[in-house]
Amino acid sequence: MLRAPALTPALAPIDPAGLADALKPFGESRMLPPAAYVDPAVFDWEQRNFFGGGWTCLGFSAELASPGDQRAESVGDGSVLLTRDEDGVLHAFANFCRHRGHELLPCGISAQRQSIVCPYHSWTFALDGSLRTAKGFKGEAGFDETRWGLVELPVCEWHGLIFVDGSGRAGSLVQSLSDLEPLVAPYEPERLVIRGRHTYDAAANWKILTENYHECYHCPMIHPELCRVSPPKSGENYRPAGAWVGGWMDLRDGMTTMSLDGTSSGAPLRGLDETGLRTVIYVNIFPNVLLSLHPDYVMTHRLTPLAADRTIIECTWAFAPEALELADFDPGYAVEFWDITNKQDWGACESVHRALGSPHDVAGPLSPDEDAVYQYVTMVARGYRGQSVWDPDARLAVAG
């Protein structure tokens, strides 16, 4: 079951001197200590305090669109049951029965049913989590069924993504992402339709994958296809206050999107201005979403860490409904481009992970082109010190 983090800030089991080096001013700082990427004790701490201890993305609203839709997902070292009720309201519950704790649905499994039935002794709950029937308890003195509803957790649907706060104490996600909202809103991700999906299994720590996403310093070496359509030194990074890091890059003249030949068989997203049609925005919503906003599609990577050295990445490509109507629409132009690029990235990240296990490795410096990596690393380091990642006031206070 979900374990709430301690009320006093939980400090990660990691060398404080290494964190102090990571938190030095940009230009003087170092990456996180190697133990942050390979030590199982740090991984366990992250599962409890980052993934189970705040807002984590569990998938898409479209996957739980109808009343009765149910799905269980692992979160941190526990699991969550999502349900859509008769009024269309999404709920999240700790995924265990209030009788003797059996899982209500196995992780990764979906169901469509108008009630939640425990597979052990068949206690039955409504889609809003209230207990409906407990076999054999009817009329039992002292049994108050209103006491034994499921444990409900904060859930938030943000632009078609489902986030759950496993701690129940992370505060408002909407507030934490308030400075990201105006960047994402014109793309209307909640309106788009997924037409491509790949699942990758990378032998690398989840933070290495994210750090790699935050810089194009590596692009000239490993991404020839990307460099043909987008100049690797173009763009700038944002200065966020909330639980996210990101930046934007240009498309080269004559290129309309990120594809192998720079052309699109889709349709431009209707809410974009001239700038939106010439750029790609890359943002990471901490801890597990990479949202890549293109002129004509939105790509989402959702990271699920299984161990310090293993991460599952679910990558999806979503397009405007009007693009799907086009006679020559084929999502392959976007999917193929990023599948090639993704595999180039995972290969580099796996190599980095192997080196981090070496007894000779020490945390390295960051180049001037890696300022978004710096923002990410300092966010993680402050989290390791017990500061809430989701509290924009806390982040601004430190930055200021």
Q: Which residues bind Fe ion (CB under 5 A)?
A: 345
CB of residue 136 vs ligand FES: minimum separation in angstroms? 10
Helix axes 206-213, 371-384, angle to 10 degrees: 150
Q: Which among ligand FES, Fe ion, none contacts residue 351 (Cβ within 5 to 8 A by kind)?
A: none
Task: Give the pairing of strands 69-75 and 78-84.
Answer: antiparallel
Interaction pattern, residues 99-118, with ligand FES; x per rule: CB under 6 A: xxxx---------------x
The 3-state DSSP class for residue 17 equals helix
- The residues near 147 (Cβ < 8 Å, ≥ 6 apart) are none
The one of ligand FES, Fe ion, none whose footprint includes residue 233, by CB under 5 to 8 A per kind, is: none
Please choose, out of 2-10, 49-57, 98-106, 302-310, the segment that lies near ligand FES by the rule CB under 6 A.
98-106
List C-alpha distances in Å: 180 to 23, 190, 243.
24, 15, 9
Site string for ligand FES, 118-157 (x = CB under 6 A): x-xxxx----------------------------------
- Closest to Fe ion by CB, 219 vs 363, is 219
Residue, CB closest to Fe ion: 345
Nearest to 251 by CA among 296, 300, 299, 302: 296
Residues in contact with ligand FES, shown as a per-residue x/- string from 252 to 291 under the rule CB under 6 A: ----------------------------------------
| 97 contacts ligand FES (rule: CB under 6 A) | yes
Q: Residue 102 touches which of Fe ion, ligand FES, none (CB < 5 to 8 A by kind)?
A: ligand FES
Smallest separation (angstroms) from Fe ion to the CB of 13: 31
Question: What CA–CA distance (Å, rounded) separates 85 from 393?
Answer: 34
C-alpha distances in Å from residue 349, one per residue of 183, 326, 357, 371, 391: 28, 37, 13, 19, 29
Confirm if 133 and 123 have CB atoms less than 8 A apart: yes
As to burial, measured by CB atoms within 10 angstroms (0-12 exposed, 13-18 middle, 19+ buried), residue 341 is middle
Site residues (vs ligand FES, CB under 6 A): 97, 99-102, 118, 120-123
